[in-house]
Every structure is written in structure tokens, then in C-alpha cells.
Structure 1
Amino acid sequence: MGETERKLFVLDTNILLHEPLAIYSFQEHDVVIPMTVLEELDRIKDSKRDVARDARVAIRALEDLFHDATPEQISEGIPFSKEKEAKGTISILADFELQETVKAFADKAGDNRILNAVIFLQNKKAPRPVVLVTKDINMRLRAKGAGVLYVEDYRTDQLIDDIQYLTKGFQQRPGDFWDSVAEVESRTLNGKTYHTLNRAPFEPTYINQYVIDEDSDFAARVADITEETITLKDMSKERMMHRKAWDITPKNVYQAMALDALLDPDIDLVILTGAAGSGKTLLAMASALEQTVERKMFDKIIVTRNTPDIGESIGFLPGTEEEKMMPWLAAVTDTLEALHKNDHCTEGSLNYICDKANIQFKSINFMRGRSIQDAFVLLDECQNLTASQIKTIITRCGEGTKIVCSGNLAQIDSHYLTPVTSGLTYMVERFKNFEGSANIHLNGVVRSRLAEFAEENL
């Protein structure tokens, strides 16, 4: 690849915060890091924000590449690799020396300097394509308005292009299931019925995916997959709808599938996605109490979630770590109250059950380095986590631990995540072929008719 064929990529700060080692995704081309990006990384690395660690990782990666280089080499560009095949280079552009061509709002001085750098390189390197890569939608719009010819989002880490292609964890067959089946081989094993069918009509299919139909009572779960066939474990909708956990029964077939996965001891990871009010937290908490208190399968319940501004605001709240976490975990405590609202003394029941089930409320920021054994872990609001944060939690789970990750991709609060780059999306896609996990998208809002109308019409 000659120099004219290689593109020149200018990376914005948010790319290195989103994916600290993103520079290596471009190593077939030339990468330019404006000095402004290094200054912004420097400010962020000392902050209390949850991206401070990512900033430090990005800075270390750049230091590893540049540690032997002279100032001239750094501005000219050094190769990513010592191997002769590696043609790509990386350089730092002293953008503060450039004459300003972009006049814009003063409060975005950093962005303006980056845009200046891109336009300078665009003029200097023509006709080579100079591409600005940024995750900031507004920055992309401003760049185009300022005359930048090529502006792109960072898509290297996207597993899917559109959230509508995300697997839902079940497939619904039209009509009556058995009407569309030509050949089947059925057998009974340990009181359970299994059907082996041709795989082709079910594509795409994954292990532990549920199969339901529209007209009959048929429901099943994919128990085994070969190149030619799939084996379904017969479940029956009616049986699933009558299952109970902590006196909670499913309100629809989607909740029934979720409850089945939550109560199955062979499934270590359950991923629940769905709209607000679809019952994710309620089902997870009910099954946690059922299996910890009634069935004695776990020693404790650990409830955790991301607290974006934990560094700044948790310190000002009084009390222990658990008491500080309460404002963020109100969704879980509300759920516990709902499960015991008919008790003679709700508060007494809650205190008793928190003690009996050994419910611990933890911050995700303090989970690194732990090893969690024989616990039921509920990780709430997963849509705000990056893939690396979710990996940190899941790799903590030791023997006898079950983890439930729930979230709503329509309610992302993080500045750096979109539905397709959320850690929750990653997890659904990465674990869909893992036999120890199940994923269910809960359709329908069961919280109230008010919540249902709001979800559909607002």
C-alpha cells in the first residue's frame, strides 16, 4: 500500500476514551493525534470521572510507541511496528502553532483547534484523504460545516450496525408450531421431552434461545445445535406461566421465559433487556430471594450498578458504602417493597429478608479484584456500562455464582455510549453462543396502563 493509498486519520479525544487502544485499529494507515487531544487526556486522567482510567490507558499506549522517538520523528510519524510490512505511522501534531482558520464559539476552543488541525492537514496533504474520526455527533456536524471533507464515527468495535438486529433471545413462529414441521424425532430423558428437527428453518438460532408460536401452547428452548439439526427441550407455555418465584407469577409469555432462565441452575448468566416497566428488576429480585432463602442455592445476594458520578457525590452522602449506594439502588428497594407490600409490617419484613438473604448493595467501582463465590449477583442498569466494565464484573464471578444483567437500551445516560456500543449490546452478541447463558428481551410494559401508554406514545 503506497502513501497515496493510505488514509490519514485524525482522532478526537472521545475515541481514546471510548476505546483506549483504538490507535491500533488504524495501523494500516497514518494516524495523527493533535496536541489538544493529549491536553484533554491529561485533564481527564486526574479527574474523578469514570473515564479517568481509560485516559491513563490511552496515554500509556502512546508513551509505549513514542518513548524512543526524537521530537522530529514524533512530528513526522513513527511506524506502528518494527516489521517492514507495517506501513502505517503515528504522529503528534503541534496544533497550537497553526494559524487559526476555523472561527467558532470560544467555549469549544479545544474542538476548534482539532478542526483547525484537520483543515491544515487536508490542505497540506491533498489529494490524500484526511479523515476526522469522532464519536461526538455535533463535532461531526461542525466539521462538515467548517469544510472538512471526510468525517466518520468510530465503528471498529460495533458488533451490529443497528439495534434492531440485536438478538431477542426468542423466536416466535407464526400459527401453530407443529403445522410447519415435516420431520421430528422426539425422545424423553429424565422426565423431559426433547424434539430434534432440521436446523435450516430456525436460522439464525443460538443455544438456550426460546421458541414459541402464536396459536398453540407450544414453547421450547434450544438445548443442542449441530450443523444439520437443533434439539428443542419442550417447555409448554401453560406450565411456564404457572411457575412461581417468591409468590410472583409471570404476566406474559416473555416474563415466563425470563423466569425459566432465572430459575434454571444450569444457566450462569441471564441477560434481561426491555422497556421501563417490563418487569426486569422484579423478576430478577423475586428469583434471587426464591433461590437464596427458600432453596438455599446461594449464600448471598449482591446488588450492584454503575454510579456515573460516584466520585463526586457519593463521598458527601452520610453512612456506610451500602447506605451511600441507596439513592442509586432505589429501584431495587422499591422492588423489595412491592414483593412484601401485603405483609403485616412491610418494613419489618424488609429488614428480616435483607438479613436472611444477606443482601449486599455494592458499587461497581469497588468490585475490581474481588472474587465472588456462591452468590446471586444482580447488575442493574447495564446499558450505561462499557464492555470493559461489564467484563470486570463478570470475571469476578467464581464457583456457584449466578449473574443477572438487566438494562434498557433506550435509557442510556453515558456521554460516550450509544445503543450499538453499549456493553449490554456487546454482552448479548458475545454470549449468544455460550451454553451457560440466556438472553430474553421482555416485550410489553406491565407496570401500569399509564406506564404502558407513556412508553408507546411519548
Structure 2
Amino acid sequence: MTQDYDSDLRVYVLDTNVVIHDPSAIFKFEEHRVKIPMVVLEELDKLKVGPTSVAADARQAVRTLDGVLGQASVQEVMAGVAIERPDGSTLGSISILMPRQTTVEHSLSEHSNDNKIINDLLELQKTTLDAEVVLVTKDINMRLKARGCGLQSEDYHNDQLITDLQSLTKGYHHVDGSFWEKAEAIAAQNPSGDKYHVMSRDVLQQVVDGQVFLNQFIYDDNDFVCRTYQDDGENIAIELLNHGSMMRQKAWGLVPRDIHQAMAMHLLLDPNVDLVCLNGAAGSGKTILALACALELTVEKNNYKRILATRSTRGLDEDIGFLPGTEAEKMQPWLGAFTDNLEVLHAEDFDPASSEDYIGAKAPIQFKSLNFVRGRSFQHTFLIVDEAQNLTPHQVKTIVTRAGEGTKVICLGNLAQIDTPYLGPTSSGLTYMSERFKGFAHAGSITLQGVARSRLAAYAETHL
């Protein structure tokens, strides 16, 4: 039976994984009441020690809570402290949910912290008659258990910018038939033959039948290719590209196999694009494209001083200390994709081993753990972040803000292969970054199509 309440206010109780996922989550519940269970504080206390990103997020969450509750009296903390916003306003309240003696008939066995939190919420629900009690957790199984006990529960959606992966920006639009014929049918066009052509934003969006942002590509069935270059709100300047030239691009001997790889390579080689997100299935060419362009820009063109390769090791929560050797040697098992692709790029050399040694001396390729990225500042670096789909939005922000002067950041990932327990395709940091940076003049995103690795890999991707 559903309880009717006199107001629309809610009591949101946050699980540990929510404040780890977003240490500033307590500010995201507007006028509602927020409660942090004592069990959550105990878990944060255990997680806060160590060099990992999870430990850093736990420390940040604790500092955030202390900033709100630190000066309040015991009575105020129990009653609820008004949450002061960054702009100085106050909205909603926060308090600590103390453990309670279970009196509910169908309570859970308290062998786990999740069960303890659910039992505390059941007791809270009995005594809270003016508002609905809602558990907020990114743990799907905990949400199911809570609902089974008669509690409302939901995921944390504040940093989830899309609800359907189909609406994720791909970085390009395909126009059936002829682009120019469709544009002419809407409004007269007078291409001057120059590199750029200016047209109305409304006309362009009608042609592609969708939203248009900077650094998106448009192509049709007649080998027309362009990139949105400038946008003043009313008109958009498109950069006219040659399909043949796009397909003949070369980076460290590598040429694109299809138009989508060509678009990705165009962004990777553009010195005015500081951030590139590449999403695609396993074998679609993400890593080899990024590595080839990194070598081209570092060794041949001297645009960058070094190549720094790193990747997520299951959401940054696994320690690499038990592996022998230096940090680079510890990261070798995780970064095998880079060394494999480096071998492929030099497989036809007379002496591949000496070629790789030459690259190591000419353009130092460094392997770093993301656990130790915080506090660093990377100058004139080509930074490749692999497996970025396993990062949270907060972790993505931590990495991108490390980019110093003259640094280019490349984030690679496959949203169909997320290994972090509390992330999904729509809540992944890779999705968040692609959506947040669309329209930024110095960023671009491409979703690669097909599997270029082999016919076996292509068949497996579509049939297994």
C-alpha cells in the first residue's frame, strides 16, 4: 500500500558508492533532506587510506561532509543541517542516520553493511510520516533487496546526461543521397570553391535531421565529407574535406580503413583539437589509430615531447603493488594493447626490435598508473587513456584537468565492455565526457564502426 504524504519532500539516504562516485553528491538533491548512514561513514573511514583514486574520492567525500557538518552542534546534526551551496544559498538539509534497533518483522540478517543500511531505513520509514524515504545506491542488487523489503530505491542519475545510449553523440551524421541536393532543396547554396562554406544552422540541421555541434563530420553517399568548423549561433561554417584525401591520410605508415577511421585520424592529427574521445567495439582500431598518430606527431613533427599511455585497471580500485619491478614494469600487463600495436606498426621493418628501441629513445613512451595521476601536470604530452569506459565522471575530470600547456588527451573505450560494478553505458565517464565536450571548439568525439582486427573478430562481435 502506497503512503500519501502532505508534501513532495523526500528523505534521500545515500549509499557509500554514491559519495565515492560523486564526492559532491550531497549538493545535488535540491530542497530534499539527505541522510548519511553511520555505516557509510565507517566504510569511508576504511577506504580513505591509500594511493588509489577510490581512496582519494573517499577522502574528498569526508572533507565535503565535514565542510557542511563540521561547525554544527550535536543537536543540529541530529535534526539536520542546512546545506550551504557554492553560491552562498541554503537549500535542503543533511544529517547522520544513526544505527537503530531493528523492530521490523521482516528485517534482514545484519551479516553485511548493505543489510544494516536497509534495516536502518526500514526503521526510519516507520517514524518518518511527513516524507517518503528513498535509498540512493548504484548497487543494483541492493536496490532489488530494498524494494523487496518495501523501500523506495533508485540509482544516482545527477551526472547521467543521457538516458538512452542511442542518443549519445557519434561525432558524425550520414546523409542519404546527396548532401548538396538536400541543402539546395531547403535553401539556395553558393559554394565558392573555398575550403569553408557558411550556411544557416537551421538548414544544416534539417539536412542531417539532427542536432549539429562543432567538430562533427557530415558525409553522404556521393563521397561528400565536411566538418563543422565555426558556429555563431545562427550560421555554421563547414570545412569542406576531400574524401580521397581523407582516405589517403597517413600516420606512421598507417592509413584508415574506412571513413570513420579517417574522421578519427583527422581529429587526432589536428593540432587545434586538444581532446578526442574514441568509442568503438573491440578491434575497431581505437588503440592503433591513437598510437600511430601519437608517433607521427611526436617523432616526425615534434609537436609533443613524450607519449604517456595509461588505462583504467577496473575503475582504479585495484592495487598494482604486488607486481614486481618499477611502475612502468608493473603497468606492462595492463598495457599490452599498446605494445602489441607498436609491434604491428613495425612488423615489416628489417629489424622490428631496433625500430621499437629507436622509438623509445626518440619519443619516450611512458606507461603510468592512473592511481598516481592526481596532483600531476603533464606538459607537451600526448596522453592516451585506454579503457576509459571504466572511469566515473569524477575520475574523468581528475584526469583531463591534469592536462598542461600543449597536451593532447585521447580517451579510448568500448561502452559495451564495462567492468566497473557500479557503472553502465549511460553513466560511464566516457559517455559523460563525450556529452559534456560536444560543441567545444577544441574537442571531438568519434564512434568507430566495424571490426578491423580480423574476419574472425568481426564475426564474433556480431554473433556471440
- Which TM-score band (shorter chain)? over 0.9
Distance 1:145 1:388 in 2: 31
Give 2:235's aligned amino acid: T
Post-superposition offset of 1:102: 4.3
8 Å contact kept, 1:96–1:113 = no
Unaligned runs of 5+ in 1: none
Corresponding residue number in structure 1 for 2:201: 199
Which residue pairs with 1:153 in the alignment?
A: 155
Q: 1:67 to 1:288 in 2, by over 3 A?
A: closer
Q: Which residue of 1 aligns with 2:64?
A: 61
Change (3 A) 1:414 1:339: same
The answer as to 2:430 corresponding to 1:424 is yes
Q: What pairs with 1:7-406 in structure 2 (closer than 5 Å)?
A: 7-46=10-49, 49-81=52-84, 86=90, 88-99=92-103, 101-104=105-108, 107=111, 109-126=112-129, 128-148=131-151, 150-182=152-184, 183-188=188-193, 193-200=195-202, 201=206, 202=208, 203-213=210-220, 215-308=221-314, 313-406=319-412
In the superposition, the TM-score normalised over structure 1's length comes to 0.92
Deviation by residue 1:307-359 (Cα, 9 ceiling, x = unmatched): 34878652222222211111111000000011111122222221222222221
**Contact 2:378/2:404, CA 8 A, preserved across alignment:** yes
Instruction: Quote the sequence identity (%).
Output: 48
Give the conservation status (yes or no) of the 8 Å contact 1:293–1:357: yes
- 1:444 shift after superposition: 0.8
Counterparts of 2:461 and 2:312, CA distance in 1: 24
SS in 2 for 1:51: helix
8 Å contact 1:10–1:32 — kept in the other structure? Answer: yes
**Alpha-carbon contact 1:254-1:443 (below 8 Å) kept:** yes
1:88 CA drift (Å): 2.4
For the residues of structure 1 that align with 2:147 and 2:348, how far apart are their CA atoms?
Answer: 60
Is contact 1:74–1:91 with CA below 8 Å preserved after alignment? yes
Aligned twin of 2:460? 454
Write out per-residue CA displacement over residues 12-41 of structure 1, whole angstroms, 9 at most, x where no aligned residue.
121111111211112411122222221222
In 2, Cα distance between equivalents of 1:382 and 1:298: 22
What TM-score does the superposition give when structure 2 sets the normalisation length? 0.91
Distance 2:429 2:286 in 1: 17
- Output the CA distance in 1 between the equivalents of 2:398 and 2:88: 37
- Range with bigger deviation, 322-331 or 418-427: 418-427
Aligned to 1:9, the other structure's residue is in SS state strand
Using a 3 Å threshold, how does the CA distance of structure 1 residues 188 and 372 change in structure 2: closer, same or farther?
A: farther
How many residue pairs were aligned? Answer: 451
Partner SS for 1:378: strand
1:377 positional shift: 1.6
SS in 2 for 1:42: helix
- After the TM superposition, list the runs of 4 or more consecutive aligned residues in structure 1 that deviate by more than 6 angstroms: 82-85
Deviations 1:124-170 (A, max 9, x none): 2235211111111111111111111x221111111111221110000
**What CA distance in whole angstroms lies between the structure 2 residues aligned with 1:368 and 1:43?**
20
Residues 66, 74 of structure 1: 8 Å contact kept: yes
Task: Call closer, same or farther: CA 1:369–1:344 in 2, change over 3 Å.
Answer: same
The whole-number CA distance in structure 1 between the counterparts of 2:218 and 2:90 is 48
Q: Amino acid of the residue matched to residue 77 of structure 1? A: G
CA-based RMSD of the aligned residues comes to: 2.3
Distance across 1 between alignment mates of 2:139 and 2:146: 11
Give the drift of 1:186. 2.3
Secondary structure, aligned partner of 1:270: strand
Deviations 1:350-406 (A, max 9, x none): 122222222111222222333322222211111112223222322222232222111
The answer on whether the counterparts of 2:280 and 2:286 sit within 8 Å (CA) in structure 1 is yes
Once the two structures are overlaid, the 10-residue window that deviates more, 22-31 or 324-333, is: 22-31
Q: Does the Cα contact within 8 Å between 2:13 and 2:135 map onto a contact in 1?
A: yes
Tell me the distance in 1 between the aligned counterparts of 2:420 and 2:301: 38
Which shifted more, 28-37 or 437-446? Answer: 28-37
* Contact in 1 for aligned 2:306/2:364 (Cα 8 Å): yes
